[in-house]
């Protein structure tokens, strides 16, 4: 990929890049589910320290989901409710 100006027809610029909030939401949701399931399995198996570490990561993922949703709502208000694909 060449380093230089953004290809024609793409949104965002070097000064104002667009944020892939929908992709970030999907990844945070995946992380929340995986961490929560693994935490439950580890805690039931008696592995308390790794289980509680995964509980902490699940809480971080949940907070990240809330922040992403707030940013998506703000973006929707600013752009008039236009929908975005997963990568924009």
Indicate the domain borders of the chain. 21-77
Q: What is the pLDDT of residue 1?
A: 47
Q: At what angle do helices 21-44 and 48-78 cross, to 10 degrees?
A: 160
For the entire predicted model, the pTM comes to: 0.75
CB-based contact 3:70 (threshold 8 Å): no
Q: What is the pLDDT of residue 2?
A: 52
Q: Across the 88 residues of the chain, what is the mean pLDDT of every consecutive 10-residue run?
A: 55 65 92 97 97 97 94 82 66
| DSSP per-residue letters across 10-67 | ----SSSPPP-HHHHHHHHHHHHHHHHHHHHHHHHTT-HHHHHHHHHHHHHHHHHHHH
Closest CA to 15 of 5, 2, 28: 5
């Amino acid at each position: 990929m060449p380093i230089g100006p953004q290809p024609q027809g793409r949104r965002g610029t070097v000064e104002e890049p667009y944020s892939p909030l929908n992709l970030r939401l999907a990844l945070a949701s995946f992380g929340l589910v995986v961490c929560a399931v693994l935490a439950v399995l580890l805690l039931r198996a008696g592995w308390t320290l790794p289980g509680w570490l995964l509980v902490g990561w699940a809480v971080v993922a949940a907070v990240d989901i809330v922040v992403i949703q707030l940013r998506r709502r703000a973006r929707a208000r600013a752009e008039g409710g236009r929908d975005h694909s997963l990568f924009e």
